[in-house]
Copies of this chain bind each other. A is one copy, B any other.
Amino acid sequence: MYNFDILIKNATILTMNDTMESFENAYIGIEKDAIVYLGTDKPKAVSKEIIDAKNNIVMPGLINSHTHSGMTMFRGVADDLSLMNWLNNYIWPLEDKFVTEENINIASKLAIAEMILSGTTTFNDMYFFTGVTAENCKNIGMRAVLGEAIINFPVSIKKTSEDYFLEFIEKYADDDLITPSIVPHSPYSCSEDLLKRIKKLSDEKSLPVHIHISETIDEVKMIKEKTGMTPVEYLDSINFLNNRTIAVHCVHLTDNDMNILKKRGAGIVNSPESNLKLASGIAEVPKMLNKGLTVALGTDGPASNNNLDMFEEMSLTVKIHKALNNDSTIMNAKEVLRMGTMNGAKVLGIDNITGSLEVGKKADIIIIDINKPHLTPMYDPYSHLTYSANGSDVDTVIINGKIILKERKFLNFDLEKVMLDIKNISSEIITYKNNGMK
C-alpha cells in the first residue's frame, strides 16, 4: 500500500528513459520529491492529490541546457544588427549599467516563470549575481545548474567578488534543487592562467564547467591566430576538457574537434535559434550524434532568441538538419525530444535525478494539454510535441515533487508583480537608450 502525495492517472506517459518506453492509461505515484510508482496497473494507494491526465501527455520536464536568465530585461532591446554592433553598442553598455543584484533578482524571476510556463523544469545558467537567481529558484521551486560568469580578457568583467562565488559553491554544495557550476565565458575571453585555475577548482570540487566554445567563425579565427589551434584543440592542450565540461554552441567544430570532445567525455549544448538569429551559423548536430556525442539543447539568453521556449529549439533542430542534409530521415521526433530532456540531464551531470520518468528519480514532470485544434487529431505524441506543440500547451508542471503550475496558473508565485517590476526596469533602459546610452 502506497501513500502518494500525488497520483497522476489516465496518463499517456513518455518516459524518455534509455529504451524510450511509453505507456497508455498509466499511473505515476509521487512520494515527497520522488517518483515511487510508474506503470499501467492501478497501484494500491492512498493519495493526497490526484491529477487526472486524460487526454494529456505526461513527460519529463524539459531541460534548458544553456541560457542567461538575467537577460530577460534586455529581451528585444536590439535586433537585426551585426553581432559586433549588437554587443558593443547595445548589450555590453546595457549590461554594464543595468546588471545589478536588484535587477537580476527581478529579471531571473521572470525567466524562471517563463521557463516553467513553457515546460522547462531545469535550466543551466551563465550570468551574474547567481546568489539571487539561486534564491529565486528555491522560492519558486525550480531546478538549476548555476554559476557566476567569469571573464578577464580583454577586460575583466566582474559583477561580484571571488569570495561571493566561493561562498555560493559552499552554500549550495548539497542542495536538492541547485547544482553549483563554474562558468568561464569562453576560451577567447578568459586567459590561459584563469582557465587552468578554473580547471583545478573544478577538479577539487567535482563541479561542472559551463563554457561557450566555437560559437562564431571569428572566435575560431581569433584562437587560431593566437595558438595555432582550434578552440577545442587549444582547451584540450591545456587539459581543460573532461566529462564535466558543458561545451555550449559548438557551431564551428572540425571532425577532430568532435573526436576530442568525444574522447574527453564532454557534453555538447546547441542553441539553434540564437545561432540563426545572430548569424553565427548552424552546428552539425547529426554528425555529432553519429559520433556518439551527447548533444543537448538550450535557448540561449532571451536577448538573442527572443524567448525561452524549448519546444521551438526542438522543432527547429529536427527540421533544419533534414533540409541541410537533403534527407528527411536524418533526425526524428523521438531523438530531438530526448535531446531536450535526457541528453540535457546527462550533459549537466544530473541524469541520476532528472531527465526521464523512472522510479527513484525526482518528480520533474510536465503535463501537456492536447485538447486543442493544433494538436488534434493525435496519431503520435512524439510527433505532436516536436512538430505541432509550443510552450503555451504546457498545462501543469511538477518539480522535485511539488506542483508549481496548474492549469497554467502558478500556485505560489506572483507573476503579475514580476511583470510590473520588469516594466519599471525597461522604462529606465528606454530612457537610457533615448539619451544615447549615456
Contact = CB atoms under 8 A, between A and B. Distances in A.
Contact of A110 (B309, B373, B422): B373
Given A76-B380, A282-B323, A322-B279, A328 B387 contact: no
Interface string A302-327: 00011111001001101110111111
Contacts of A229: none
A20 interface: no
B387 A326 contact: no
B279 A323 contact: yes
B322 A276 contact: yes
A427 B83 CA distance: 50
Interface string A75-111: 1111111110010000000000000000000000010
B374 A118 contact: yes
A376 B387 CA distance: 26
A3 interface: no
Interface string A50-72: 00000000000000000000001
A217 to B, nearest CB: 8
Contacts of A325: 279
B415 A328 contact: no
Given A81-B329, A333-B80, A419-B373, A387 B306 contact: yes
A373 B114 contact: yes
A174 B425 CA distance: 53
A295 interface: no
By size class, the interface of chain A is 35 or more
A113 interface: yes
Contacts of A276: 319-320, 322-323
Question: Which of A79, A281, A422 has its CB near the most chain B CB atoms (within 10 A)?
Answer: A79
A160 interface: no
Contacts of A388: 75-76, 306-307
B277 A319 contact: yes
B306 A379 contact: no
A378 interface: yes
A262 interface: no
A332 interface: yes
A366 interface: no
B76 A383 contact: yes
Nearest to A116: B373
Given A307-B387, A320-B320, 9 more contacts: A77-B380, A110-B373, A276-B320, A279-B327, A282-B323, A282-B324, A306-B387, A316-B316, A377-B429
Interface of A: 72-73, 75-83, 86, 110, 113-114, 117-118, 217, 273, 275-282, 305-309, 312, 315-316, 318-320, 322-333, 371, 373-374, 376-380, 383-384, 387-388, 390-393, 415, 418-419, 422-423, 425-426, 429-430
The 7 residue pairs across chains A and B that have the minimum distance between CB atoms: A377-B426, A392-B392, A276-B319, A279-B328, A114-B373, A80-B332, A306-B387
17 contacts: A75-B376, A76-B384, A77-B380, A79-B380, A82-B327, A117-B374, A276-B319, A276-B320, A277-B319, A278-B322, A279-B327, A306-B383, A308-B374, A320-B320, A376-B423, A379-B430, A392-B393
